[in-house]
């Protein structure tokens, strides 16, 4: 069961001030110059950083912004980054699909991926001429590590008649073996499109069994999957939804499709991180809860100050490996550049291009809620 926190930021995300280490940041100090460079940024994060903490954080923010200009670098910040990163140094912000698209188009020599490793690989796949840096090599993902390219090759040997779709939360090796990628914004669209192309009623969708189960309840296509899961979203349960409704009368409950199907069945709305953010912006519910990673609620709340957020708190330990300190360090020292073997990169790019070639959606697709789960086949690892 997810750990439910009643209201307010309240989650155990390490605050920037507690993480700042003088020695790690080369003795950056809060000078009059730094103050002048950063005063205008403080209001963007004043909900999360107290005035007492700001002098410890502002020097890092100023140093990162100077390095970005020197290196012609941009920071791609995923929605699950803490607000100090997301709001103060992130240049392009969004979900993995938005960031991947921007990586290909942005005019910069260096991309710093404030996200996890598979996202940095995706940026490198789409922008091979750019230097892509990942601030921490520890920023993995339980979904990406649940499957390998060899696993997919064996699946294709076993089921050559069915197309294999991979969620973007996978390594370049896995993407290289799959026919097409998908995101949580377009998974249903991709599954239906490739089933039509292959003239089949069955599609294999890896590695997230919960995303696959949720897709299966939205389409007539038969889905087979892999026993992977997001260690953050799999913790939510239908009993959390029930407890939230009891504790917070009138709360509107939004769920990410990496949650188990009984969560989507009980929720009021479901969709990708982009769809959840759009829902709050467009509907402005009086009281809302986002069943997803902690920092997503913090970042959406900062953009919607009139909406009352109830915050269930499941942290992604991988996303939280990224800090202002290691962003500064990787830019200062050009550390942790992502490198891919060219054949793998090209085959992975073909799978991403197949997805990007589909008609562009005007908005991320919502998942219907209230639908009972369907039984689907989970392929056993060899
Ligand atoms: S939230 Fe889940 S899917 Fe996203 S990086 Fe963390 S473990 Fe992976």
Q: Given this model, what pLDDT does residue 25 score? A: 56
Q: Which residues pair with 164 in a beta bridge?
A: 204
Q: What is the pLDDT of residues 7-61, one digit of tens each?
A: 333 343 444 444 444 444 567 899 999 999 999 999 998 888 999 999 999 999 9
Three-class DSSP category at 367 = strand
pLDDT, average across residues 372-382: 90
Q: What is the pLDDT of residue 264?
A: 97
User: Does residue 293 have its Cβ closer than 6 Å to ligand 1?
Assistant: yes
Per-residue model confidence (pLDDT) at position 14: 43
Q: Structure tokens of 339?
A: 């490198």
Q: Residue 209 and residue 230: Cα distance in Å, rounded?
A: 9
Which residue in 255, 262, 261 sits closest to 238, CA to CA?
A: 262
Q: How far is the CA of 258 from the centre of ligand 1 (A)?
A: 9
When computed from its CA atoms, the radius of gyration of the chain, rounded to whole angstroms, is: 21
pLDDT of 224 higher than 70? yes
Can you tell me the mean pLDDT for 235-242? Answer: 96
CA dist 272 and 263 (Å) reads: 14
Q: What is the mean pLDDT of residues 243-253?
A: 96
Please report, for residues 43, 98, 142, 301, 305, the alpha-carbon distance to residue 254 in angstroms, rounded to integers and kept in the order given.
28, 20, 22, 14, 18
Say if ligand 1 is within 6 A of residue 230 CB. yes
Pocket test for ligand 1, best of 114, 233, 256 (most atoms within 8 A of CB): 233
DSSP per-residue codes, 87-100: HHT-SEEE-HHHHH
- Give 142 Cα–ligand 1 centroid separation in angstroms: 6
* Pocket lining: 318 vs ligand 1, CB cutoff 6 Å: yes
Q: Which atom of ligand 1 is nearest to the CA of 316?
A: 6
**Per-residue pLDDT tens digits for 157-189:** 999 999 999 999 999 999 999 999 999 999 999
Residue 231 CA, ligand 1 centroid: distance in Å:
7
- Taking CA atoms only, the protein residue closest to ligand 1 atom 8 is 141
Distance (Å) from CA 38 to ligand 1 centroid: 31
- pLDDT single digits (tens) 85-111: 999 999 999 888 788 888 889 999 999
Q: Where are the domains of the chain?
A: 13-140+319-333, 144-232+341-363, 233-312
Same fold: 13-140+319-333 with 233-312? yes
- Cα(222)–Cα(194) distance, rounded to whole angstroms? 12
Region 187-201 average pLDDT: 97
Within 13 Å of residue 58, how many CA atoms lie on the same side as its CB? 23
Bridge partners, residue 308, by sequence? 287
Asked if residue 142 has its Cβ within 6 Å of ligand 1, the reply is yes
| Domain range 233-312, its CATH number among 2.70.98.60, 3.40.50.10800, 3.40.50.1820, 3.30.200.20 | 3.40.50.10800
CB atoms inside a 10 Å sphere around CB 332: 15
In Å, how far are 309, 371, 374 from 219, measured between CA atoms? 32, 11, 10
Residue 11's pLDDT is 40
Name which residue sits closest to atom 6 of ligand 1, judged by CA: 316
Q: Is the peptide bond before 207 cis (omega within 30 degrees of 0)?
A: yes
> Which candidate, 194, 156, 200, places its Cα nearest to that of 176?
156
Q: Place domain 144-232+341-363 in its CATH homologous superfamily.
A: NadA-like (3.40.50.10800)
Tell me the CATH number for domain 13-140+319-333: 3.40.50.10800
Which ligand 1 atom lies nearest to the CA of residue 80?
Answer: 1
Q: What is the mean pLDDT of residues 219-237?
A: 97
* pTM (two decimals): 0.91
Give the atom of ligand 1 at the shortest distance from the alpha carbon of 169.
Answer: 3
Residue pLDDT, tens place only, 298-314: 899 989 999 999 987 78
């Amino acid at each position: 069961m997810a750990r439910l926190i009643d209201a307010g930021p309240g989650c155990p995300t390490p605050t920037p001030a507690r993480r700042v280490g003088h020695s790690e940041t080369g003795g950056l100090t809060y000078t009059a110059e730094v103050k002048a460079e950063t005063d205008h940024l403080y209001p963007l994060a004043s909900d999360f950083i107290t005035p007492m903490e700001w002098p410890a954080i502002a020097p890092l923010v100023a140093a990162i912004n100077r390095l970005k200009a020197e290196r012609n670098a941009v920071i791609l910040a995923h929605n699950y980054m803490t607000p100090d990163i997301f709001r103060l140094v992130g240049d392009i912000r969004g979900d993995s699909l938005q960031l991947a698209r921007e990586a290909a188009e942005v005019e910069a020599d260096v991309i710093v991926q404030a996200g996890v490793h598979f996202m940095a690989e995706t940026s490198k796949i789409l922008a091979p001429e750019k230097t892509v840096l990942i601030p921490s090599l520890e920023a993995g993902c339980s979904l990406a590590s649940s499957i390998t390219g060899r696993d997919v090759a064996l699946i294709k040997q076993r089921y050559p008649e069915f197309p294999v779709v991979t969620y973007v939360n996978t390594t370049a090796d896995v993407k290289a073996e799959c026919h097409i990628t998908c995101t949580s914004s377009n998974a249903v669209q991709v599954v239906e499109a490739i089933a039509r192309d292959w003239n089949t009623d069955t599609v294999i969708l890896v590695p997230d069994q919960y995303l696959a189960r949720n897709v299966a309840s939205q389409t007539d296509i038969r889905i087979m999957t892999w026993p992977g899961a997001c260690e953050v979203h799999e913790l939510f349960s239908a009993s959390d939804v029930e407890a939230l409704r009891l504790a917070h009368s009138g709360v509107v409950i939004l769920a990410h499709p990496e949650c188990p199907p009984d969560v989507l069945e009980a929720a009021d709305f479901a969709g990708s991180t982009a769809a959840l953010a759009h829902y709050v912006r467009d509907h402005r519910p009086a009281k809302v809860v986002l069943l997803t990673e902690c920092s997503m609620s913090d970042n959406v709340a900062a953009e919607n100050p009139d909406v009352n957020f109830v915050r269930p708190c499941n942290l992604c330990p991988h996303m939280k490996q990224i800090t202002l300190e290691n962003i500064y360090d990787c830019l200062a020292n050009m550390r942790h550049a992502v490198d891919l073997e060219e054949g793998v990169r090209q085959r992975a790019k073909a799978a991403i291009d197949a997805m990007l070639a589909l008609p562009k959606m005007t908005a991320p697709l919502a998942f219907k809620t209230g639908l009972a789960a369907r039984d689907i086949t989970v392929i056993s690892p060899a």
